[in-house]
Amino acid sequence: KAGVTQTPRYLIKTRGQQVTLSCSPISGHRSVSWYQQTPGQGLQFLFEYFSETQRNKGNFPGRFSGRQFSNSRSEMNVSTLELGDSALYLCASSTRTGGFDEQFFGPGTRLTVL
């Protein structure tokens, strides 16, 4: 079974631009969560989508948004990029939402904001 895939793997943008990241979950998984990982803040939860609905949201500004499609693929968008948005963005998929399902991570998208 193929794992979680994320595209693109690397991205370089300048301040003020916007970016869209894509995540395809493991086949059969309907929940997709997004995380930001930085050396200073560690792994921080952005949001979770299940059946095209946002189920949970972390403490990030409204510049960070996402959506999920009917095939469970998810996109994350960051508008008006700031230098501090430079990070590894990870998505993780699981079968269901809720507390008992294991999450499996994709390889991540490394975003650099200049």
Q: Are 66 and 47 in contact (CB under 8 A)?
A: yes
CA 17 from centre of chain: 18
Q: Could you tell me the smallest distance in angstroms from the CB atom of residue 90 to another protein? A: 6
Q: What is the dihedral of CA 74, 80, 81, 83, to 10 degrees?
A: -150
25 versus 108: smaller Cβ distance to another protein: 108
Closer residue to another protein in complex, CB, 11/88: 88
Respond yes or no on whether the N-terminal peptide bond of residue 61 is cis (omega within 30° of 0): no
Q: Residue 61 Cβ, how far from another protein at the closest point, in Å?
A: 18
- Binding residues vs another protein (CB under 8 A): 31, 33, 35, 42-45, 48, 50, 55-56, 58, 88, 90, 92, 97-108
Q: Which is nearer to another protein, 62 or 100 (CB)?
A: 100
Task: Tell me the closest approach of the beta carbon of residue 102 to another protein, in angstroms.
Answer: 5
User: Of the candidates 7, 16, 6, which has an alpha carbon nearest to the alpha carbon of residue 78?
Assistant: 16
